């Protein structure tokens, strides 16, 4: 796996875990927490939403779904 792919997957996993721990978060909270651009966060959220791991109950807010997730390191 390319180093850039590994970094992206690690970041997406961290974003998912952050949302999971907090319950519901805003896109801006994710930008502030991870120190990356809103566009990058949006791409990460799109990957998570495509895989049915997060959903947006209202514009700009995100929460996890009930889909079972197995975490590995």
Query: What is the CATH classification number for the domain harbouring 12?
Result: 1.10.10
Residue 18 lies in a domain: yes
- The pTM assigned to this predicted structure is 0.90
Residue 69 lies in a domain: no
User: What is the total count of domains within the chain?
Assistant: 1
Residue 56 lies in a domain: yes
Q: How high is the pLDDT of residue 71?
A: 76
Residue 73 lies in a domain: no
Phi, psi of 57 (to 5 degrees): -70, -25
Q: Give the distance from CA 17 to its chain's centroid.
A: 8
Dihedral angle of Cα 15, 17, 21, 25, to the nearest 10 degrees: 20
pLDDT tens-place values along the chain, 73 residues long: 899 899 999 999 999 999 999 999 999 999 999 999 999 999 999 999 999 999 999 999 999 999 888 877 6
Map tokens 């966060």 to a residue. 41
Q: How high is the pLDDT of residue 70?
A: 82
Task: Give the structural domain span for 26.
Answer: 1-61
Residue 43 lies in a domain: yes
Instruction: Tally Cβ neighbours within 10 Å of residue 62.
Output: 25
């Amino acid at each position: 796996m390319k180093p850039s792919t590994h970094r992206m997957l690690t970041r997406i996993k961290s974003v998912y875990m952050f949302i999971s721990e907090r319950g519901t978060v805003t896109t801006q909270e994710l930008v502030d927490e991870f120190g990356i651009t809103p566009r990058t966060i949006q791409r990460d959220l799109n990957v998570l939403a495509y895989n049915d791991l997060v959903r947006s109950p209202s514009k700009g807010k995100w929460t996890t779904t009930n889909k079972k997730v197995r975490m590995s390191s």
